[in-house]
Amino acid sequence: MSPRNIEKDLLMREERKKFILDSAVQVIATKGIGSTHMNDIAAAASISIGNLYHYFKSKDEIYAELLYMTQTDYGLFVTAASQMPGNAIDKLRYICSTWLSISTNWAFTILIQTARTTESIPLEIRNAVTERFTANLQPVAAIMKEGQESGHILDGEDPLELAFYFVSLIQGLTLQRAPGIEVRITPKTESIIRLFQVGFKK
């Protein structure tokens, strides 16, 4: 009946959406969230504003999907790290060095923090973000626990609490890497890991 291939259309639609979201991340990583407008996103994806609204029905929806994508990707990354071969220290090292080396991560961090603290963003979205944030702590907590059991990581603390500190520290460091910020101190993975490591210190 239809001269179009419906399946292919749906697939293309998903691809387009992904492409738009990726483009949006690029702009946000350059301009910051506060100054990224719908026309910036449209321009970044090389489509018209009107067409942008064919894929997402509001700015909030873009926000929500962006947050979902970002946090899901991060969750997958952390989960993969927790299942890597090697000991707990190796895994933390991998997380730390990889995360700090991605230069646009500051944008994710600010994106997430802003989403959580901006009144105009629907409570629903904000709660979902916090929910995922908490869920994403679990794989790191698992690494901490494993490290404590193998004697590599500081004992005596709740593994979840340690994970919370580790992630907060990395987030805090990530923020210092936003464009235009020239802190002359470069975080070093080895030094960061040592904070959580046992036996290294005399």
Partner DNA sequence: AATGAATGAGCATTCATTCAT
Partner DNA sequence: AATGAATGAATGCTCATTCAT
Candidates 14-22, 73-81, 91-99, 180-188; binding stretch for a second copy (CB under 8 A): 180-188
Rule CB under 8 A: is residue 145 a binding residue for a second copy?
A: no
**Interface positions, 94-133, toward a second copy (CB under 8 A):** 106, 110, 113-114, 116-120, 123, 126-127, 130, 133
Q: How many CB atoms are located within 10 Å of the residue 64 CB?
A: 20
Encoded one letter per residue, x for contact with DNA by CB under 7 A and - for no contact, window 24-63 reads: -----------x-xxx-------xxxxx-xxx-xxxx---
Is residue 19 at the binding interface for DNA, with CB under 7 A as the rule?
no
Secondary structure of residue 4 in the 3-state scheme = coil
Alpha carbon distance 83, 139 (integer Å): 9
CB atoms within 10 A of CB 171: 18
Q: Which does 13 bind (CB under 5 to 8 A by kind): DNA, a second copy, none?
A: DNA
Q: Contact at 8 Å (CB) between 154 and 148?
A: yes
Could you tell me the smallest distance in angstroms from the CB atom of residue 197 to DNA? 45
Measured in whole angstroms, the distance separating CA 169 from the mean position of its chain's CA atoms is: 14
